[in-house]
């Protein structure tokens, strides 16, 4: 079993300026492969799925583009900041969903007013008294 779920050829479209034999690319692919295996809960004995290969490539490319993990940089009056999850070896929620097949938990907001005993409203009052827009 290879240590890498993707190849440097898979990374080339994402990182055309980097040398495929670069130790950085090799290390990024190895590290990304380990994270993907752990998140998917599989060693992929029959080879990685297309989804696992894609997530590995994206994770390795993020690491190779920014190996120090900088999240912001300033020069004179110019400053930029990268969005959360765009650096390092952390999987994004979308990548984790792709690997596990489980949808992300989506927050739901609702209210319910409870009544006591015979204090039940008429049908005409239900909308006005029980359900309020948030």
pLDDT band at 74 (very low <50, low <70, confident <90, very high): confident
Backbone angles phi, psi at 128, to 5 degrees: -75, -35
pLDDT of residue 93: 83
> What number is the average pLDDT over the span 22-29?
88
Percent of the chain with pLDDT over 70: 71
Say if residue 108's pLDDT is above 70. Answer: no
Percent of the chain with pLDDT over 90: 16
Q: Where are the domains of the chain?
A: 8-100
Taking CA 12 as the corner, what is the angle to CA 11 and CA 16, rounded to the nearest 5 degrees?
Answer: 130
Say if residue 15's pLDDT is above 60. Answer: yes
Q: Tell me the angle at which helices 50-65 and 23-40 cross, rounded to the nearest 10 degrees.
A: 130
Say if residue 95's pLDDT is above 60. Answer: yes
> What number is the average pLDDT over the span 83-109?
74
pLDDT of residue 56: 92
Give every CB contact of residue 39 below 8 A, 6+ residues apart in sequence. 91, 95, 96, 99, 100
Q: Which three-class secondary structure state does DSSP give residue 80?
A: strand
Which DSSP symbol is given to 107? -
Taking CA 81 as the corner, what is the angle to CA 29 and CA 78, rounded to the nearest 5 degrees?
Answer: 125
Q: Where are the alpha helices (DSSP H) in 79-119?
A: 93-100
pLDDT of residue 1: 43
Of 114 and 99, the structure prediction assigns the larger pLDDT to 99
């Amino acid at each position: 079993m290879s240590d890498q779920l993707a190849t440097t050829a898979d990374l080339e479209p994402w990182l055309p300026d980097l040398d495929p034999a670069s130790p950085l690319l090799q290390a990024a692919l190895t590290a990304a492969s380990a994270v993907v295996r752990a998140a998917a809960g599989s060693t992929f004995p029959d080879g990685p799925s297309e989804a696992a290969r894609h997530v590995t490539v994206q994770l390795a490319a993020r690491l190779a583009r920014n190996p120090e993990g900088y999240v912001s940089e300033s020069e004179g009056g110019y400053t930029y900041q990268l969005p959360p999850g765009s650096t390092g070896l952390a999987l994004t929620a979308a990548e984790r969903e792709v690997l596990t097949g489980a949808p992300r938990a989506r927050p739901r907001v609702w209210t319910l007013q409870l009544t006591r005993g015979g204090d039940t409203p008429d049908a005409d009052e239900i909308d006005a008294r029980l359900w309020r827009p948030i």
